[in-house]
Amino acid sequence: MELSNRQEQIIEIVKANGPITGEHIADRLNLTRATLRPDLAILTMAGFLEARPRVGYFYTGKTGSELLTEKIKKFKVHEYQSVPIVVREDASVYDAISTMFLEDVGTLFVVDNNACLTGVLSRKDLLRASIGNQDLNAIPVHIIMTRMPNITICFRNDLMIDAAKKLINKQIDGLPVVKEKENGLEIVGRITKTTITKAFVELIMDEH
C-alpha cells in the first residue's frame, strides 16, 4: 500500500521509540490523539505496526512487499473459484466444441450422471479429434478426454498459491475444484490462470 507522509512519519517514530503510546506519537507530531487515530488504525490493520493494550505501538519490521506477500499466501481457492463449465460423458465432440466456443473457456470438465468428475477436455484434445473426415457428432467425449486419475485437482480450502503452482508445473490452463462424496469427486468450481491473474491484479489495485 502507498503510505501518506504522516503515516511514514509515524512508522519512523515507532521504529525509533517503540513501544510508544498513541498520545506520545501525537505529541511528537503536534497533533491530537483523535486526529492520529485513523492513521494508527490503518497502519495496524496493514501490519506495519502492532498495538498492545497499556503498552503501546511496536514496529513489526515488515516492508510493504513482505506484507503483500503474506496476504497473497493466505488466499484460499474458494474465495476466487468460478463456475465450472461441464459436459456429460455421452456428449459429442461437436457439442463440446460448441460449448467451449460459446462459454469462451479453454478447458471443459466431464462429469457422470452423479455430477462427479471423470475427465477433462482441453482445446488440444478437441482440435486433435476434429482433424480428418470423421463425424464429430458420432464421437463421444469420453473417448478423447483425459481421465481420472490423470487429472490435476484442487479443493476449496487449498491455498491459491498452491493452485497456481500446479497450473505452472503441469502447464495447464485450469483446475477443477472438487469435494469428496461417496461415489467420487463432485466438481464445485474451477480455478484458471485468468482467475489467479484477476485476483492478484485486484489485490495490487486495492493496495494502491
pLDDT tens per residue across all 208 residues of the chain = 577 888 889 988 988 888 889 999 999 999 998 888 888 988 888 788 888 887 889 888 776 666 666 677 778 999 989 999 999 999 999 999 999 999 999 899 999 988 899 999 999 999 988 887 788 999 999 999 999 888 999 999 999 889 999 998 988 889 999 999 888 899 999 999 888 888 777 766 665 4
Last residue of a domain, one of 38, 62, 86: 62
Task: Provide the pairing of β-strand 56-59 with 174-181.
Answer: unpaired
Same domain, yes or no, for 48 and 94?
no
Note whether 88 and 154 are same-domain residues.
yes
Cell of 151: 487429472
Residues 6+ apart with CB under 8 A from 90: 140, 141, 142
- Alpha-carbon distance of 199 to 193, in angstroms, equals 10
Q: Let me know if residue 81 belongs to a domain.
A: yes
Which cell goes with 48? 506495519
Structural domain includes residue 72: no
